Amino acid sequence: MAVSGLIRVMERAARKAGARLRRDFGEVEHLQVSRKGPADFVSKADRAAERTLYDELLQARPDWGFLLEEAGEIEGDPTKPRWVIDPLDGTSNFLHGIPHFAISIAAQEPRLDGKGWGDVVAAVIYQPITDETYWAEKTRGAWLHDARLRVSSRRHLDEALIATGIPFAGAGDPNEWVKIYAEIGPKVAGIRRFGAASLDLAWVAAGRFDGFWESNLQPWDTAAGCLLVREAGGFVSDWRGRSDPICAAQVLAGNDALHSRLHKLVVGALKS
Ligand code: 2AM
Ligand code: CA
Ligand code: CA
Ligand code: CA
């Protein structure tokens, strides 16, 4: 599959910002770490990577808007797509010297009726330390470099390795996660909590994880990863089974069989 110009632009920006993150990794004493909320850290590395992505993508597509984790929304031509960007997903890992973090970039189209945002049409998730680029385009599949990705084919919960994110301080209802875990945890082969939602979704697309759930995420955490999972033949929905382009508030992902099994467990967990 020939890589499109759009993916090339996204990958070039991600590699440039990723090189910057590799230089900053391990230099935590120079990174001016501050808090945005109770457990929400940001550093010079997040901001510098975001600035690099902004500059590169603005130059490539001057009339597109942005939704950036750190700088917020920057309007562009409303008839054009916007970039949805997490410049450093897994900040806590990064600041602790744990090499599990990524850059997540999605291109999201405006809705045809002009009211809000519609489908994600292109996604790049770049892991600077492993130099892996996961990418997807709507209807053209999900890829790791030039290898096509497929979600796993495991159909039974007792064989499934499921990723999750545990709610951070100050976000949502902590009991909700406990209830869902109590239903799912004992029935599956294993649970993983690695701390970078974009990579959790990319790894579901790659068939490494069989499923994933987390709530209270933001569009920049999930926009690229949701397209990857769907283009790899998987399903992404909220707790009620509804799918929107991003499903950030509640994300439940997996292949068809496990998505529906996990969905039943989540519904059961929250009924009691
Ligand atoms: P971040 O590193 O970009 O902030 C892990 O559960 C996921 O939740 C990560 O993708 C992480 O993204 C996000 N996250 C972690 N702590 C957070 C917080 N306090 N507020 C908002 N998002 C957070
Ligand atoms: Ca953050
Ligand atoms: Ca994030
Ligand atoms: Ca981030």
Q: How far does the centroid of ligand 4 lie from the alpha carbon of residue 127, in Å?
A: 13
DSSP character string of the chain: -PPPHHHHHHHHHHHHHHHHHHHHTT-GGGS--EEEETTEEE-HHHHHHHHHHHHHHHHHSTT-EEEETTTEEE---TTS-EEEEEEEE-HHHHHTT----EEEEEEEEEPTTSSSEEEEEEEEEEETTTTEEEEEETTTEEEETTEEP-------GGG-EEEE-PPPTTSS-HHHHHHHHHHHGGGSSEEE--S-HHHHHHHHHTTSSSEEEEES--HHHHHHHHHHHHHTT-EEE-TTS---S---SEEEEE-HHHHHHHHHHHHHHHH-
pLDDT digits (tens, 9 = 90+) for 76-98: 999 999 999 999 999 999 999 99
pLDDT band at 220 (very low <50, low <70, confident <90, very high): very high
Give yes or no for residue 50 CB within 6 A of ligand 1: no
Judged against a pLDDT cut of 90, whether residue 130 lies above it is answered with yes
Give yes or no for residue 222 CB within 6 A of ligand 1: no
Quote the pLDDT of residue 1: 67
Judged against a pLDDT cut of 80, whether residue 2 lies above it is answered with no
Domains of the chain plus CATH, in order, are 5-148 (3.30.540.10), 157-271 (3.40.190.80)
pTM of the model: 0.97
Give yes or no for residue 89 CB within 6 A of ligand 1: yes
Q: How far does the centroid of ligand 1 lie from the alpha carbon of residue 114, in Å?
A: 30
Give yes or no for residue 86 CB within 6 A of ligand 1: yes
Q: How far does the centroid of ligand 4 lie from the alpha carbon of residue 102, in Å?
A: 9
Give yes or no for residue 39 CB within 6 A of ligand 1: yes
Q: How far does the centroid of ligand 3 lie from the alpha carbon of residue 84, in Å?
A: 11
Judged against a pLDDT cut of 90, whether residue 99 lies above it is answered with yes
Nearest CA to ligand 1 atom 5: 195
Q: What is the ipTM of this complex?
A: 0.95
